[in-house]
Amino acid sequence: MEKSLSDYIALSKNIDELKHDKKLKVAILSSSTLNGLNETLHVKFSELGIDYQSYLGGYNQYNQELLNSKSGLYTFSPDVTFVIIDVRNVLGDYFHHAHDMSDDERKNLAKEKINELQNLIETFENNSNSKLVITNLNVPSYSPNGIIENKLKFGFHEMIEEINNSLRHILKNHNSVYMYDFRQFVSKFGEKNVFDYRQFHLGDIQIAFNLIPYLANDLMSYIKPMFGINRKCIVLDLDNTLWGGIVGEDGFDGIELGDTPNGEAFVEFQKELLVLWNQGIILAINSKNNDNDAMKVITKHPNMILREKHFANIQINWDDKAINLKKIADEINIGLNSMVFFDDDKINCERIKQEFPEVLTINLPDDPSQFTPILKEMNDFQVLQRTDEDKKRGEIYAQQLERNKFEKSVSNMDDFLKNLDIRVNIKKSNNFLIPRISQLTLKTNQFNLTTKRYQEEEIRNLSNDKKFIVGCAQVFDKFGDNGITGVFIIEKDETSWFIDTFLLSCRIMGRGIENAILSQILKDAKDEGMAEIKAQFIPTQKNKPAENFLSHNGFEKEGDSWIYKLNSEIKVPNHLKVETE
């Protein structure tokens, strides 16, 4: 349930800025009156521990703000800019007049408006490093042409749709510009609720007050992934969460899953979870149950959508749910603050909330038909970009489970590594790899020598620079493809190379892969006639796993940097195969 706008306004007056460790500068430009949005965002930022600084453009001044490079907007230097425009003000008099124009005139008007928007976006990109979120236009439900509106050669509605389509198209070529689908906001809440003629005449208010908190909530979808405070893993209870009833009491045939209206609601919920899994959201189970009873349903029930392979970790036992949750986090190596926990039991939810406030706990209601809408309302699973690795993540974690089982079945580490059949494929950066390479530099904390963060654009520039080598490693083993999981960036000099970045995703640490990648770099440098390679270790709170990597691989410390002399034999790990492209 959202709070009301007046609640947000009251809360915004009592925000303690001191407790925030992150900060963000937000600019809001709008074509109509949007009072209250600023206060609501301020509260929502504070709830996430982000210090909020804002700049509000003057009423309907968005054109001037965006076009004038000396405007208050650019002086403020925002991190994120929201441009919220509405169809009435964008079309001006044409909002009414366009109905009595010819088809060709409407076509020209659409072109003119598209050019204006494109110009705004490009001017903004040239003047600011901020991310830009711009709305599309609502298509009014009314047309004076009534039922023949859609028979016109180029009607009023089609004209607005054309502007929207072009806007969508333009944004595909601008990496840091996003479209907020205001049309879908209107269709979700209904035009009659969003647009109140009284508020419109009283103060050009085009989004009703009571819906401003919901708009703010949607805009937060862009903020959360910028700070990595999006959620990556959903932990699920079983009884009355994935199916109706209690399998331990009602039995395999007694639970509700499919076939009845309630049962269908659980199936629908599972289908939506599967959709998220396919987008790279990790699923796990945390249930108080007899393992045999529950696993029988998961593996054998004909209406079960989610099967064993969809879960990266399964904890079915009678232990404390908080202990199980911690175990899941540790075993799949993911932060508690990346997790969402779904349970129908109030006491379990309270227990988790108390023990791990950083986990987002959702107490499901009694009515299972509400599970799916609750899941769909969440704005916690957003990403600003999606790589192939993200889409394969579920599969990758399922393989990890197999790998862990295998590790337990062999007697020692050497046997385990030898029998994994690891293959490391080292690739040079290219257009397809750039998003993933950037993503790894942005989020890898543990095995990372220098923790230098690079946006996509920067990786692209380095990849085109002859003085640099940008490379990455794709790792395969007998259980499957681990994806692109290692990155290195080398700065080349006349006589030596410098390792600017060297990192490895935490899920493949400890298998000698880092040594294999490094020895390949050393070999390449030697082949090019280099005398030495320099490297650096910049300690952070999290990169202890990489602390001794250089010294263990024959680098010697000299002042602040580490040096490897290329005059000796290069050690190569023998339990894995290295391929270069």
Partner 1 sequence: MKLDEVNAIVAKVFSLPESEITDESSPETIESWDSFNGLVLVDELETHFKIKFSISEITDVKNVSDIKRHLKNHNVS
Q: How far is the CB of 56 from partner 1 (least distance, A)?
A: 13
Check residue 60 for interaction with partner 1 (CB under 8 A): no
Q: How far is the CB of 341 from partner 1 (least distance, A)?
A: 32
Check residue 16 for interaction with partner 1 (CB under 8 A): no
Check residue 13 for interaction with partner 1 (CB under 8 A): yes
Check residue 6 for interaction with partner 1 (CB under 8 A): yes
DSSP bridge partners of 448: 503
Residue that the structure tokens 């979808």 belong to: 221
Judged by CB under 8 A, the stretch of 160-168, 197-205, 232-240, 295-303 that binds partner 1 is 197-205
Q: How far is the CB of 211 from partner 1 (least distance, A)?
A: 10
Q: Which of 49, 58, 202, 292 binds partner 1 (CB under 8 A)?
A: 202
**Cα–Cα distance, 321 to 344 (Å, whole number):** 13
Check residue 58 for interaction with partner 1 (CB under 8 A): no
Q: Which of 172, 198, 466, 467 binds partner 1 (CB under 8 A)?
A: 198
Q: What phi and psi, each to the nearest 5 degrees, are found at residue 579?
A: -120, 145
Please say whether the beta carbons of 83 and 132 come within 8 A: yes
Q: Smaller CB distance to partner 1: residue 10 or 347?
A: 10
Amino acid at 344: D
Check residue 199 for interaction with partner 1 (CB under 8 A): yes
Check residue 426 for interaction with partner 1 (CB under 8 A): no
Half-sphere exposure of 501 (CA within 13 A, CB side): 24
Q: In what order do the strands lie in the sheet with 233-236?
A: 311-317, 282-288, 233-236, 339-343, 360-363
**Cα–Cα distance, 438 to 454 (Å, whole number):** 6
Amino acid at 180: Y
The DSSP element (H or E) to which 74 belongs, if any, is helix 72-76
**Cα–Cα distance, 332 to 480 (Å, whole number):** 17
- Contact pattern for partner 1 over residues 203 through 242, marking x by CB under 8 A: x-x--xxx--------------------------------
Coil, helix or strand at residue 244: strand
Check residue 193 for interaction with partner 1 (CB under 8 A): no
Judged by CB under 8 A, the stretch of 43-51, 196-204, 255-263, 458-466 that binds partner 1 is 196-204
Q: Which residues contact 201 (CB under 8 A, 6 or more apart)?
A: none
Check residue 189 for interaction with partner 1 (CB under 8 A): no
How many residues in the shown chain lie near partner 1 by CB under 8 A? Answer: 17
Judged by CB under 8 A, the stretch of 93-101, 202-210, 331-339, 543-551 that binds partner 1 is 202-210
**Cα–Cα distance, 108 to 388 (Å, whole number):** 40
**Cα–Cα distance, 89 to 31 (Å, whole number):** 6
- Contact pattern for partner 1 over residues 26 through 45, marking x by CB under 8 A: ---------xx---------
Q: How far is the CB of 387 from partner 1 (least distance, A)?
A: 43
Judged by CB under 8 A, the stretch of 9-17, 136-144, 387-395, 562-570 that binds partner 1 is 9-17
Please say whether the beta carbons of 62 and 123 come within 8 A: no
Check residue 1 for interaction with partner 1 (CB under 8 A): no
Q: Which of 5, 26, 305, 535 binds partner 1 (CB under 8 A)?
A: 5
Q: How far is the CB of 13 from partner 1 (least distance, A)?
A: 6
**Cα–Cα distance, 446 to 154 (Å, whole number):** 57
Please classify residue 190 by burial: count the beta carbons closer than 10 Å to its beta carbon, then call 0-12 exposed, 13-18 middle and 19+ buried.
exposed
Query: Which pair of structure tokens corresponds to residue 315?
Result: 């904890």
Secondary structure letter of residue 242 according to DSSP: T
Judged by CB under 8 A, the stretch of 107-115, 123-131, 199-207, 465-473 that binds partner 1 is 199-207
**Cα–Cα distance, 52 to 72 (Å, whole number):** 17
Check residue 10 for interaction with partner 1 (CB under 8 A): yes
Query: Which pair of structure tokens corresponds to residue 181?
Result: 């689908």
Q: Which residues bind partner 1 (CB under 8 A)?
A: 4-6, 9-10, 13, 35-36, 198-199, 201-203, 205, 208-210
